[in-house]
A and B are shown apart, each in its own frame.
Chain A
Amino acid sequence: MAVTLKVNGQTHTLDIEPEMPLLWALRDELQLTGTKFGCGIAQCGACTVHVGGVAMRSCSVPVGAAAGKDIVTIEGLASADGKLHPVQAAWVAEDVPQCGYCQSGQIMAAVALLKEKPNPTDEDINTITNICRCGTYVRIRKAIHRAATTRT
């Protein structure tokens, strides 16, 4: 069955099952591997992408439900000329990543939070439930505060 996905501004028509999780369509069908598999049950957040402007756990979103909506992945965050998104730039400035595996999801969650709360408090940042096994939370918090002050 044909499913039309609009990812990072590009439209793709895929012959896949509508119940296939968006995560696996992105990773295995579109080769957008920046979005990661961590748990498959919407717990860890490594697969976080934006669907219709909302941060969602793509392992638990069937492509049928995402069809036609604007999907943004980590690969689509920087501008076309390669300029990093302010949140990515803040991540670089704070040297946030360690192993790096959860960071795509963390960054996507942070971008969504900052859209809702341009000047988030520590309590606001605590609403992010993405798991990091390396424990980069201290730096993620700093980077989100930094991004809040640097972005225009």
Chain B
Amino acid sequence: MGHIEPNLSRRHFVVAGLSAAGGLMLGVSFPNLASAMPLSQAPWSNDAVAANEINAWILIEPDETITIRIPHAEMGQGAGTANPMLVAEELECDWAKIKGEFASPNRNVRENNVYKDQNTVGSRGVATSWQYLQQAGASARARLVQAAANQWKVPAAECVAENGAVLHKASNRRLTYGKLAPDAAKITLDKEPAIKTPDQFKLVGKPLARLDTPVKVNGAAKFGIDTRIEGMTYAAIISCPVVGGTVASVDESPIAGKRGIIKVVKLENAVAVVADNTWRAQEALNALKITWNYGAGASSDTAQMKKFYRDGLNEQLVDVRKDGDAAGVLAQAGKVIEATYEVPHLPHVPMEPLNATVKLSADRVDVWMGTQSALSTLQQAAEVSGLKPEQCFIHNAYLGGGFGRRSRNDEMRQAILVAKDVGRPVKLTWDRPQDMRGDRYRPQAAARFKAALAPDGTIAALETRFAVGSINRSIGRPLENGMEGQAHDGLSNQGYKIPNLHVAGILKNTHLPVNFWRSVGGSQNCFFFESFIDELAYAAGKDPIAFRRAMLDRKDFLTVLDKLEEVSNWKQKLPPGRGRGVAITFNHGSVAGHVAEVTVDNQNRIRVDRVFVAVDCYNVVNPKIIEAQMESGALYGLTAALYGEITVKEGQIQELNFDTQRNVQMSEAPRIEVHITPTGGTTQNGAPKWGGIGECGTAPIAPALTNAIFAATGKRVRELPLKNVKLAEIASL
């Protein structure tokens, strides 16, 4: 592949006179915890430019420790390990000497976007950052080599970088990076070096241990909720139980004289209590008598919302894709197969309830929290505080789960307003009911398919109609011709060759806010689409894998499908009451497929016994992390398929904690076997292909499961979650 021109040369900062002796510099110190860990317990980077920086990404200490700045957030998906691996690959250093820290959003603002968008969304931690991460490492390596060459007065071409040192083999001389770093930092290259292609990787591709594991087994890792700063107060908050409603009045008399209460703060749509301890704040909040103006949303309920999306299927739709003449073929077809599918709103439920700690002064705001979109967080901090972006400092902690929820920062906006009001630093912690009530949900959706089969048993025509909540509309982004891409991801962009394909849909919103939820459109559309594909396979009298294969010619889809067939013993018959189901999808840049094996007992109880996963993300940074993400994706999707739903009564969310929003537990977790089948390859631009990993593994589990239920029982599930489905009432096909 060609030379990549990232123009990194302007991004190395020589800092004369800065006296910092190096080492990790933390905004907050935790004196009782050792920090000899590859990722520190408080992982955010100092906002100042440090001495010994080769560039904004890499800091080399005299003792040869190398600190790599990580642009993305660590929420379990592994960016905190995968990002440094891409830098270290080019740097030619000793991986055991690597430390990581999360890049400063403030510096990013001050230094012309040196860390790029810092968004940890859309499975992009590697897929859109590999190039600049590799380039940062390559650039630093070239400067270190040049520094050695200058010192030895030999051509740089005669020097090689190897395992943390530069060698001049002809004269048998060697200088370590730690000794070269100060000189290297002053060098400006005439031309940035080319980066490696995947066939040249030595470190990338290895199943290295995660850098964040050591601090996550001893309680040391600091999540936003663990922040403690001097003079800090503790706040609890409740937002209006009906989204869109406002605070009418607050009767504070029930908490008069209560210990530790500092202030009751009224926001437009929420009430907070500030106290000297989280529990005291929560208790006082629960005791307040709050009167709300519920507003228009109070008239809505679940049955109404369901009808709203079903009705949408019969309204004027926007065309998304039109190949051939599906309507014409369907009109002529002897037999038309038709089915309607539905899914509810879903909550994100990160294990760590949302929280933010804010310290506000006249010319500076500091925020400690876990955010998926640190730069947007910083811009919002500026907006809410009235300060300039360069006066805003976001210290991104470990994220106790994100799944899309930590990309909008409602909690931080509230925390700034509360801190302003109370005039002291505040840690605002949502309790679980607030986390459920204050969520921005996966949109509710419905879809209807009509299809006709060709004489050879492939699909001759397929018409897809869908109705779904608009995320763009909900978060204030524009639509394109009344449509948005994520609404039909999984319906319009799959691998099957279908000569007559029509996909059309409508975006409809209720009063509930909606947002990206792990695998996004795929979370509902893969269930709709791969269930219906399965229906067609049975209608055609074909084996579900053979039916799919006959319509595929893409190497990625075929590789995943073949692997699934092989490892799941697909052709081996299962005893009565058990069944296997397959689903495969292209989601967030990768092809992922599942075979689920289920048992349905004579009381229609469902047990998921095993899940086989195959995934093609084209190139691989760390197979161990991919394996974990595939397990994770399947289980996150399994909880949603079995139990996930948000129901509404008089406009209010009914599921407010884990008792009503159940989660899959150890006893229900199937055995999961992951197979990574990277097919490599390059994009049209000649760059290596990198697929996403955080989300694709969530999408296929629901249809694999319901397809397996069909194989076991002959009953087709067309609605989720399964806890509401009465299998006994579904006719066997």
Contact = CB atoms under 8 A, between A and B. Distances in A.
Is B one of A's binding partners?
yes
Interface of A: 16-17, 20-21, 23-24, 27-29, 31-41, 43-44, 46, 73-75, 77-78, 82, 84, 88, 91-92, 95-104, 107, 125-141
Contact of B632 (A23, A40, A98, A130): A98
B400 A101 contact: yes
Contacts of A73: 219
A24 B220 CA distance: 17
Interface stretch (B175-183, B555-563, B658-666): B658-666
29 contacts: A21-B279, A33-B226, A36-B225, A36-B400, A37-B278, A38-B353, A38-B432, A44-B663, A74-B218, A88-B217, A95-B628, A97-B212, A97-B216, A98-B77, A99-B398, A99-B399, A100-B212, A101-B352, A101-B398, A101-B400, A101-B401, A104-B219, A129-B665, A131-B351, A133-B663, A134-B351, A135-B664, A135-B669, A137-B635
A39 B663 contact: no
B278 A24 contact: yes
Interface residues of B, number: 65
Contacts of B351: 36, 38, 44, 46, 99, 101-102, 131-134
Secondary structure call for the B interface: loop
Contact of A34 (B218, B277, B399): B218
B76 A134 contact: yes
B658 A92 contact: no
Nearest to B275: A28
B213 A95 contact: yes
A34 B400 contact: no
A24 B215 CA distance: 22
B667 interface: yes
Question: Which 6 interchain pairs have the tightest Cβ spacing?
Answer: A34-B219, A135-B635, A98-B76, A101-B400, A99-B76, A100-B216
A130 B669 CA distance: 12
A134 B432 contact: no
Contacts of A138: 631, 669, 671-672
Given A97-B212, A97-B217, A135-B632, 5 more contacts: A38-B352, A44-B351, A100-B76, A100-B215, A101-B398
B14 to A, nearest CB: 37
Contacts of B638: 135
Given A129-B666, A135-B669, A138-B671, A29 B277 contact: yes
Interface of B: 34, 74-78, 209-210, 212-223, 225-226, 228, 234, 259, 277-280, 282, 349-353, 398-403, 429, 431-432, 624, 628, 631-636, 638-639, 657-659, 663-667, 669, 671-672
A96 B625 CA distance: 10
B234 A28 contact: yes
Contacts of A36: 223, 225, 351-352, 400
A77 B217 CA distance: 10
A13 to B, nearest CB: 17
B218 to A, nearest CB: 6
A77 B218 CA distance: 8
Contacts of B279: 20-21, 23-24, 28
Contacts of B635: 132, 134-135, 137
B354 to A, nearest CB: 12
Contacts of A125: 666
A140 B667 CA distance: 12
A145 B234 CA distance: 40
Given A92-B214, A134-B632, A100 B278 contact: no
A87 to B, nearest CB: 9
A95 B210 contact: yes
Contacts of A43: 657-659
Contact of B667 (A74, A82, A107, A126): A126
Nearest to B698: A135
A26 to B, nearest CB: 10
A41 B657 contact: yes
A111 B312 CA distance: 53
Nearest to B667: A126
Nearest to A143: B217
A78 B218 contact: yes
A139 to B, nearest CB: 7
A103 B431 contact: no
Given A24-B279, A92-B214, A133-B663, A100 B221 contact: yes
Find the residue from A16, A27, A32 having the highest chain B CB count within 10 A: A27
Contacts of A100: 76, 212, 215-216, 221, 223, 398, 400
B663 A75 contact: no
A141 B350 CA distance: 22
Contact of A133 (B216, B403, B432, B628): B403
Find the residue from A31, A95, A98, A139 having the highest chain B CB count within 10 A: A98
Contacts of A91: 213, 217
A135 B631 contact: yes
Given A133-B663, A135-B636, A84 B217 contact: yes
Contact of B658 (A23, A44, A96, A139): A44
Find the residue from B277, B279, B636, B638 having the highest chain A CB count within 10 A: B279
Given A28-B278, A34-B218, A133 B350 contact: yes
Find the residue from A82, A133, A140 having the highest chain B CB count within 10 A: A133
A135 B664 CA distance: 9
Find the residue from A17, A37, A99, A126 having the highest chain B CB count within 10 A: A99
Contact of B277 (A24, A92, A126, A133): A24
Contact of B666 (A82, A103, A137): A137
Given A39-B658, A131-B351, A141-B666, A103 B216 contact: yes
Contacts of A99: 74-76, 350-352, 398-402
Find the residue from A33, A35, A107 having the highest chain B CB count within 10 A: A33
Find the residue from B217, B228, B633, B659 having the highest chain A CB count within 10 A: B217
Contacts of B398: 99-101
Contacts of A77: 218
A107 to B, nearest CB: 6
A146 B348 CA distance: 32
Contacts of B631: 135-136, 138-139
